[in-house]
Structure 1
Amino acid sequence: MCGRYASSRTSDDLAEEFEVAEVRVDAPLAPDYNVAPTKEVYAIVERPPGDAAEVAVPERQLRVLRWGLVPSWAKDPAIGSRMINARRETVAEKPAYRRAFQRRRCLLPADGYFEWYATEQRTASGKPRKQPFFIRPADGGVLAMAGLYEIWRDPTRADDDPARFRWTCTVITTEAEDALGRIHDRMPLMVEPERRAAWLDPRTEGPGLLDLLTPAAPGRLEAYPVSSLVSNVRNNGPELVVPLPAEEALG
């Protein structure tokens, strides 16, 4: 799964990187080196300008969404904390994701993501000690994770309340390629630049959607051990993505 990631780029940087036509961000997000479920994150979507009628030609927008998808039909938004990942194998059929997969696809930009590797060392309780790894594009570029988003209407808020709609998202994952599978068996799907337009366009339909999602090519990502400080979501800062010296990493 993908349960933590780092996102330090500014809204201006992301708007340029993803050729965004409109930045729909009220308050810029601070760099976050320990993004966890339910936090606000940047997302690239394509929607009609100004949220006009669906018949309008969509434009690329940068928005702030909450990580943890809440389906439009959900009774309780707390369900979002359990829906941070959607599996590629079932995303087109599962009721929670099916409608979003057809019309509300997004990109979730990241510096990289974290996974924990179970070592041979044991804790006092006998459980394997886990070494966190940071996994990022080998070229230092932006990791464009495939995602879905939904818009949930809060029935407790008035029609004129600007907070009545909650925008949420999830990361689509797949089986990890061999080099990364030794750390964790799942990984987020990347969307390469040449496929982003088709992925984001809500007018793209059909079984070919899944063909737009492919695992990262071998060697495209690199992984290295980092400090266990990242295991506590209260810790945040660039030191969390600094490579750990080999002698300090758990065996």
Structure 2
Amino acid sequence: MIPATGYYEWTGEKGAKLPWWIHPEQGILGFAGLYSWWQDRSRPDNDPDRWVLTATILTMSTVDELASIHDRNPLALPEDHWEHWMDPSIVGDQKLVDEAVRAARDESSVLLFHKVSPFKPEDDGIVLTEPLNSL
């Protein structure tokens, strides 16, 4: 599970895209994720950085309220699924993913969303989540 306060989707034409800040009404989101450790064979066997951790967030077809923004969205797990997804003894399979998608679709949490000003990766601060029309 990957915790987040929200996420961005960008819409519009290339060169003029605007970001949308998508977030829960309160609290945080817990995204379904997968991780893997792998060996970087370009590094020597004794290099402590030879082992690399990578992760990804699973996506699903969009929930209805976000369909006008994007055709898919991150798979936000209902809170009662978080502990299960963080259990390192669980080996994920398609059944686990299908169960998470069903639970996410049944979840009644409300996602709020609004356009924000375009930004660069090095930008930071609350301005990144303030509605575009209030700036």
Distance 1:241 1:163 in 2: 35
Distance 1:205 1:108 in 2: 15
For the residue of structure 2 that corresponds to 1:168, the secondary structure is: strand
Cα deviation digits, residues 83-108 of structure 1 (max 9, x gap):
xxxxxxxxxxxxxxxxxxxxxxxx11
Alpha-carbon deviation of 1:163?
Answer: 0.8
Alpha-carbon deviation of 1:208?
Answer: 3.4
- Give the one of 144, 149, 154 matched to 2:40: 154
1:177 aligned onto 2:71: no
TM-score (norm 1): 0.46
The equivalences for 1:93-242 within 5 A come to 107-118=1-12, 129-139=16-26, 141-201=27-87, 202-203=89-90, 208-209=95-96, 210-213=98-101, 214-215=103-104, 217=107, 220-229=110-119, 232-242=120-130
CA contact under 8 A between 1:198 and 1:204: conserved in structure 2?
no
Percent identity among equivalent residues? 34
| Coordinate RMSD, CA, aligned | 2.4
Distance 1:185 1:196 in 2: 25
Alpha-carbon distance change, 193 to 166 in structure 1, aligned in 2, over 3 angstroms: same
Unaligned runs of 5+ in 2: none
Alpha-carbon distance change, 164 to 148 in structure 1, aligned in 2, over 3 angstroms: same
CA contact under 8 A between 1:225 and 1:244: conserved in structure 2?
yes
Alpha-carbon distance change, 158 to 221 in structure 1, aligned in 2, over 3 angstroms: same
Alpha-carbon deviation of 1:240?
Answer: 0.9
By relative contact order (CA 8 Å, sep 6+), the higher-ranking structure is 2
For the residue of structure 1 that corresponds to 2:58, the secondary structure is: strand
| 2:24 counterpart letter in structure 1 | P
For the residue of structure 2 that corresponds to 1:163, the secondary structure is: helix
Distance 1:171 1:110 in 2: 11
Which moves more between the two structures, 207-216 or 152-161?
207-216
Cα deviation digits, residues 41-93 of structure 1 (max 9, x gap):
xxxxxxxxxxxxxxxxxxxxxxxxxxxxxxxxxxxxxxxxxxxxxxxxxxxxx
TM-score (norm 2): 0.81
Q: How many residues align?
A: 131
Unaligned runs of 5+ in 1: 1-106
Distance 1:161 1:129 in 2: 44
Alpha-carbon distance change, 178 to 218 in structure 1, aligned in 2, over 3 angstroms: farther
Distance 2:72 2:100 in 1: 18
CA contact under 8 A between 1:177 and 1:215: conserved in structure 2?
no
For the residue of structure 1 that corresponds to 2:23, the secondary structure is: strand
